[in-house]
Amino acid sequence: MRRTLLLAGIAVLAACGSEADEGEPDIVCWLGMEQACAPAVEAAAHADLEALQRRVGALHLDHVPDGDGVIIALDAESITLRLDDGFHVFGWPGPLPAGFAIAETVRFEQSYGWQSLRSETFGLAIHSVEEYAPSLRAGPPPGGGPALLYEPSCQTSRGTAIALGIDWFGEERMVHPGESATVGAWTIANHGGLALPTGSDGDPGTWEGGGCVERSAMAAPVLFRLVATAEWRPDEAVQWCDRAAYDDARTFLDEGIGGYGIRFEGAPATETTSGTIEQLGHDEIVVALADRGTARFRWPEPIPAGLEVGESVEIAAPSHGWHMLQGSIRLALWANQDFVYPDALPPLFGTLDLALVPGCAFPDTGAGMTCGQPAGRGELLALELPDGSLLPSGGRTQVGETVVALHGAVQLPSYGSDGCVVDAWFTGLVTAVAPAP
């Protein structure tokens, strides 16, 4: 019975040098040709991938929708499970890692060329490729694993060995054939990858010389094979952020919170003062004050509807981080930078209790390595609301008549001159909009 493979491809070609002038031949380089592979990498790259691909993954599951199944049997190198359409065997390219149990319910998923089985505490995934079409990205395994790219590794006696490039929150790793790497809760293994030209009869041929050739002189397409696995063992004490949340946090930190809130012309107000709205900009309100010139209230997004030029308003001087303006609606903004985040914010409008709590973690790979420590860990915080529910960073919700938004709350490790973690640094921004009392 024929095994259906989940396919992806690779481009192992790249233009040499600058773009060719008109009339010049189209030149292509075979990447990875200059560096010979180490013996262990060559052996793994030349593994019998065709035979391996016939026994890994599950049979014909590319036609089965994602869904829950039950494990019926656990063998030395395979799992038998029952899905809606019947029984299937999920093969593994070696001794089956411990983590699943018979009669356990698991989730079957397919994405980016991966087949995966996953429970609440453990997961396995297979990536099996046999293709001619070019595609550089392998994609993450189901469940939010690291982003993966196909990368040329080195030159074997038959073709180009293929590595997996891992991008884990900005930390780049290379997994060559026969190697594995652990990032966060994931262990990624490259069981063998090889790109080689094929003969006219479709059988693998040999490549003599390497280097650059004219595209028109290429006699045969490139056959690419690769088998990779992913093992997921979450640390119960650590909830890792997904990549989208991490990217949003980095964008928030890059933009910063400087300039948001109320700025007075002259001495800052020490108590509530009144004035008239002089200008309503896209993200700034200019208020002409009755007794001290001008105040500007800068908002991190478009000013909410409800205020008008000429309207009388009251401005409350910043107190414990809150900046407030009250007219026909109320605006409040809390902007804070400190060594550590406060557990509780001052009551919003004097009545709503809000608190910051840990949300998810991400590795801070930019420092912390020079003194022998592992990379530090940053935290993306959540806002605990009065009813106990959590508002994630970047989220917005309504509490009674008040709309609360957590634009960002991030705590990063702070490093000393020797590169060791010595402290922390917090940045947070919260806004609220409510009707006038």
DSSP one-letter code for 309 = T
CB distance 332 to 299 below 8 Å: no
Q: Look up residue 136 and give its two tokens.
A: 């550089």
CB atoms within 10 A of CB 323: 23
User: Can you give the pLDDT at residue 14?
Assistant: 32
Provide the phi-psi class of 375: left if phi over 0, else alpha when psi is between -120 and 50, else beta.
Answer: beta
**End-to-end Cα spacing for the chain:** 73
User: Can you give the pLDDT at residue 343?
Assistant: 81
d(Cα 150, Cα 11) in Å, to the nearest integer? 8
Convert the pLDDT of each residue in 169-214 to its tens digit: 666 788 999 999 888 788 999 988 887 765 434 444 443 433 333 3
User: Can you give the pLDDT at residue 425?
Assistant: 83
Taking the mean position of all CA atoms in its chain, how far away is CA 354? 28
CB distance 31 to 152 below 8 Å: yes
Convert the pLDDT of each residue in 379-433 to its tens digit: 899 999 999 999 998 899 999 999 999 999 998 877 666 666 556 788 999 999 9
d(Cα 255, Cα 79) in Å, to the nearest integer? 48
Within 266-352, strands assigned E span: 273-280, 284-289, 294-298, 312-319, 322-326, 329-338
Which residues of the chain fall short of a pLDDT of 70? 1-34, 58-64, 132-137, 143-144, 169-171, 197-222, 235-238, 266-270, 319-321, 364-376, 415-423
User: Can you give the pLDDT at residue 325?
Assistant: 93
User: Can you give the pLDDT at residue 307?
Assistant: 94
State if pTM tops 0.85.
no
